[in-house]
Homo-oligomer: A and B are copies of this chain.
């Protein structure tokens, strides 16, 4: 697999941590030197390895927060 260049440009928050130290995090991540996007993903300790996740736009996170808040009311 070809290398993917990425940089976590801002740590927004940690959702949870597993017994093995993997964390689910919301960050701003720049992929292949493109402008950073929201990124919801599992990370190994010290961000050494990345797990499953997906990128989100500003509009998508706004909508996501609305859906969650509405559902949990």
Give the oligomeric copy count. Answer: 2
Residues of B within 8 A of A41 (CB): 54
Say yes or no: A68 contacts B61, CB within 8 Å: yes
Q: Which A residues, 15 to 56, have Cβ-Cβ distances below 8 Å to chain B? A: 15-16, 24, 26, 40-42, 52-54, 56
Say yes or no: B54 contacts A40, CB within 8 Å: yes
Say yes or no: B12 contacts A63, CB within 8 Å: no
Q: Which residues of A contact B (CB under 8 A)?
A: 12-16, 24, 26, 40-42, 52-54, 56-57, 59-72
15 contacts between A and B (CB under 8 A): A12-B67, A13-B63, A13-B70, A16-B59, A40-B40, A40-B54, A40-B64, A53-B54, A61-B72, A62-B72, A64-B64, A64-B65, A65-B65, A65-B68, A65-B69
